[in-house]
A and B are shown apart, each in its own frame.
Chain A
Amino acid sequence: QSALTQPPSVSGSPGQSVTVSCTGTSSDVGGYDYVSWYQQHPGKAPKLLIYDVSERPSGVPDRFSGSKSGNTASLTISGLQAGDEADYYCYSYAGAYIHYVFGTGTKVTVL
């Protein structure tokens, strides 16, 4: 079972928007609306940003949004801030055999 594919890095200037993609297959991302996104600062635990493709937990700024088209899910960060510089991971339900799979991770850099 392979990890979901994410770009190794994306970057943007403060105030800009960046989008992180997460590509899987019809057996995971494309087959279920159960993609979630996590932010991880160095040496810290992951933090939930988005669940069930586009739902945002209370306390997460609305600058973070999620979507999905076919086998690719996306996380968009609007109004980029210095504190958004971190690693981001997607996570998808993958059925009754594989169960769950993480993405390869993307480092977001604020220029």
Chain B
Amino acid sequence: QVQLQESGPGLVRPSETLSLNCIVSGGSINGYYWSWSRQPPGRGLEWIGWIHYSGTTRYSPSFESRVTISADTSKNQFSLKVNSVTAADAGVYFCARYGLESQKFLDYWGRGALVTVSS
């Protein structure tokens, strides 16, 4: 059973960089697409971007100027960096895997990492 686990600092200062890792266990990141989404407190889900295990990435236009997603196949994990954070970047960040059939849906999710932005 594939499992995903987000990790990273729960507190980030305004204007600094938010960094999160997603560690994949029970399966390989090779051969799949992987995504990051977030959920501000009390609000809905927002899609941030995806990465193919080969390193190809695509980002939502809403985040493209501030976000970088990368993958480390040797560690079986992928990462998210969000630059110049503000209070609006606070929330729960989820990593997930795209299913193989059409590669257009998210079949396995991490439990989420809560990020607070405060000085």
Contact of B60 among A46, A55, A91, A100 (CB under 8 A): A100
> Contacts A1-B62, A36-B104, A97-B61 hold; do A47 and B109 have CB atoms under 8 A apart?
yes
Q: How many A-B pairs fall under 8 Å by CB?
A: 72
**B45:A100 contact, CB within 8 angstroms:** no
- A33 → B minimal CB distance (Å): 8
Would you call B53 an interface residue if the criterion is a C-beta within 8 Å of the partner chain's C-beta atoms? no
User: Across the two chains, which residue of chain B brings its CB closest to A101?
Assistant: B47
Instruction: Indicate whether A18 reaches chain B with its CB closer than 8 angstroms.
Output: no
Q: Please tell me which one of the listed residues A45, A51, A105 contacts residue B102 in the complex, with CB atoms under 8 A apart.
A: A51
A residues in contact with B59, CB < 8 Å: 99
| Residues of B near any A CB (own CB < 8 A) | 35, 37, 44-47, 49-50, 58-62, 94, 96, 99, 101-102, 104-107, 109-112
